[in-house]
Amino acid sequence: MNAADSSVLVAALVQSEPHHRACSALLDKAGMCVYSHGLAEIFNTLTGGRSGYRIPADQVAELVEGSVLPFVEVIALTPKDMVAAMHEARRRGVRGAAIFDYLHFVSARKAKVRRFYTLDVEDFRSFHRPGDPEIVHP
């Protein structure tokens, strides 16, 4: 099994994204998981986030429902998982908003994935340690 963050999922959904083909191909493969919060990040990005998209909310919900959920396993973190990640944060160099990326990575570790796909490789490499999933650009 592999995991992807929301950057990969957004690129898979939006044909004008530079990495659309590669990300779409990843989503089509069986055995992909995503952290549950990533679904909200897709919504944020496509309805009015910094990327400049202004897709209506109901259309984004339909995209997530029809083009993401059938192809991924959604991984949830318990409050205990999140607090454990926060305790681990200092040793991993995680501060501030980096916790959001880190929780994607924690969910991937929880799912025991081999590879973690992201368009933001450097952000994730900063807290990667031996034994963690490989961080891969699609």
Q: What is the DSSP string of 60-103?
A: HHHHIIIIIGGGEEEE---HHHHHHHHHHHHHHT--TTHHHHHH
Q: What is the pLDDT along the chain (138 residues), one digit of tens a residue?
A: 999 999 999 999 999 999 999 999 998 887 899 999 999 999 999 998 677 889 999 999 999 999 999 999 999 999 999 999 999 999 999 999 999 999 999 999 999 999 999 999 999 999 999 999 999 999
pLDDT at position 22: 96
- Amino acid (1-letter code) at residue 51: S
Q: Edge-to-edge strand order for the sheet containing 2-4? A: 72-75, 32-35, 2-4, 115-117, 134-136
pLDDT at position 49: 67
Domain that holds residue 109: 2-136
pLDDT at position 28: 81
- Amino acid (1-letter code) at residue 119: L
The CATH number that applies at residue 90 is 3.40.50.1010
The predicted model scores a pTM of: 0.94
CA–CA distance, 127 with 83 (Å, rounded to integer): 17
pLDDT at position 27: 87
CA–CA distance, 32 with 109 (Å, rounded to integer): 13
Domains identified in the chain, total number: 1
Exposed, middle or buried by CB within 10 Å (0-12, 13-18, 19+), for 28? exposed
Question: What's the token pair of residue 22?
Answer: 């590669």
